[in-house]
Amino acid sequence: MYISMRNLTLLIGTALIATSLSAAKLSYTPANPDMYPYPSTAKNKQGLETNVDGAIIRKNVITVKEVYKSQISGKNHNFGVKASKEIVKAWDTDTRPDGKGLPDGAMNVEKGAQVFAAKCATCHGDFGEGVDRFPVLAGGIGTLKLHPKTGGDPGPLKTIGSYAPYIAPFFWYIQTAMPLSAPKSLSNSEVYGILGYLLQLNEIQVNGADIEDDTVIDRKFIKAVHLPNEKGFEYNNLRKPDTHNTRCMKNCIDKSKMVVMHIKTDATVVKPPFGDERYSFDNNKKESKSDIGKTIYENTCAGCHDSGIAGAPKFGEKADWAHVRKENIKDVFEHALKGLNAMPPKGGDMSLKDEDVKSTVKYMLEKSK
C-alpha cells in the first residue's frame, strides 16, 4: 500500500496525540480519584483473592450483609441497629479533593474573618501566624526547599498556601476537628467563610482574581480553587516503596558505634511515669541530689523552661528569675508543687516526690544566676 509522506506524518501525529490523550486520561491524582490505577482486590501467590491490605477474602465466611438477612440477624438478638440512610448521611461528611461531598452553604470572607477571630485566633493567630506552638495556617510559600542544615532555618513551613495540594478536604477537617475545644460546632456557612479567609490570608487567586472581603465562598467557589502546590505531589509510584534498604539478617548493628539518643520536644513532653530507677543510669549507684534535679529538669521541666514558653522563666536567664528570687523560697516550692497559672503542679508529673521537685527548683535557681 502506498502512503504519502504527508499522510504518514498525519498518522504518526494522530498516534502521538492518541497516546498522550490516553496517558492524560489514565493519570491518577486525588482530584480524579476514579482513575485510581489499582484494583481493590488482587491475587496472592497461592492464587487466593486478597483485599488491598493483603487479607484473604474468604467466600465461604458469612458477611455482615448475610447476617442481617439470616435467622441470626441483629434484630432478633438485640445487638445494634441497621444503619438508616439518615445515620449514614450523618457520618458521611468527608469532602474529597475534587470537591465531592461539599455541602450547601455560603458566607463572604469578611464574615468568615470575624468567625475566625472569635473562634480560631486564640490558637492560630489573627492572621494565621500561629500562637506559641499552635499550627501556622498562612504564609511559608517557597519554604518547602529550606532545610535548617543548609541555612534555611527554620525549615519548611507547611500551610495551605505552601504545601497543601487541595483545599476541599480542609472543609471536612475544620468542621470535624476545629475549634479544638468545640469540634463540630461550626455551621457549613461558617466553615465556607473561614476557608475564604484562610485562602485570602494565603494570597490565593481564583480564576486570576484576588479574594476580596465581599467574595462569597460556597461549593462552586471552592471547586474552582487551585492551590500552588497542587502539582507538587507524585502519584506515579503508588504502592512502590520509597526507601530501598537491603534486608539484614545477622550482625547488622555495630554496637560499638551505637549512640543512645533522646528526642526533646518543645511543647509537650510525653513520657511514661517516673520510677526511682529512672533517676539512676547505673542501677548500683543512686544519683546525688543535684543529679536528680538535673535529670528531672531535663525530663519534665525543660519542655517549657528551656524556651520560656507561655511565660515560664527561662532556664539560665538571670533576669527571668529575678522576681522568683525575691519570693520566700517556701512559696517558690509551693508554686512548683501546687502549680501557678500556666505552670502545672510538679511540672505535670504528679508521680514526682515533693523533695525531688524541690531539688529540681534549687537546681534551676542555681543554674540561672
User: Which residues here bind ligand HEC, judged by CB under 6 A?
Assistant: 119-120, 122-124, 134-135, 137, 158, 170, 173-174, 178-181, 186, 194, 296, 300-301, 303-305, 310-313, 324, 327, 332, 335-336, 340-344, 346-348, 357, 360-361
Minimum separation from the CB atom of position 221 to ligand HEC (A): 17
Q: Which residue's CB is nearer to ligand HEC, number 226 or number 314?
A: 314
> Are 97 and 165 in contact, with CB atoms under 8 Å apart?
yes
Which residue do the cell numbers 534486608 mark?
247
Minimum separation from the CB atom of position 308 to ligand HEC (A): 8
Minimum separation from the CB atom of position 54 to ligand HEC (A): 28
Q: Which residue's CB is nearer to ligand HEC, number 40 or number 341?
A: 341
Q: Which residue's CB is nearer to ligand HEC, number 37 or number 311?
A: 311
Q: Which residue's CB is nearer to ligand HEC, number 101 or number 348?
A: 348
Minimum separation from the CB atom of position 148 to ligand HEC (A): 19
Minimum separation from the CB atom of position 120 to ligand HEC (A): 3
> Are 61 and 49 in contact, with CB atoms under 8 Å apart?
no
Amino acid at 268: T
Minimum separation from the CB atom of position 346 to ligand HEC (A): 6
Minimum separation from the CB atom of position 76 to ligand HEC (A): 42
133-169: b (≥16 Cβ within 10 Å) or e: eeebbbbbbebbebeeeeeeeeebbebbbbbbbbbbb
Amino acid at 227: L
Phi first, then psi, for residue 69 (nearest 5°) are: -75, -25
Alpha-carbon distance of 282 to 278, in angstroms, equals 10
> Are 196 and 211 in contact, with CB atoms under 8 Å apart?
yes
Minimum separation from the CB atom of position 338 to ligand HEC (A): 10
Cis peptide before 103 (omega within 30 of 0): no
Q: Which residue's CB is nearer to ligand HEC, number 36 or number 171?
A: 171
Which residue do the cell numbers 440512610 mark?
85
Q: Which residue's CB is nearer to ligand HEC, number 99 or number 313?
A: 313
Alpha-carbon distance of 168 to 223, in angstroms, equals 7
Q: Which residue's CB is nearer to ligand HEC, number 108 or number 300?
A: 300
Q: How many residues make up the chain in this entry?
A: 369
Picking from 305, 300, 298, 283, the residue whose alpha carbon sits closest to that of residue 347 is: 300
Q: CB-based burial of residue 190 (10 Å sphere; 0-12 exposed, 13-18 middle, 19+ buried)?
A: buried
Q: Which residue's CB is nearer to ligand HEC, number 173 or number 281?
A: 173
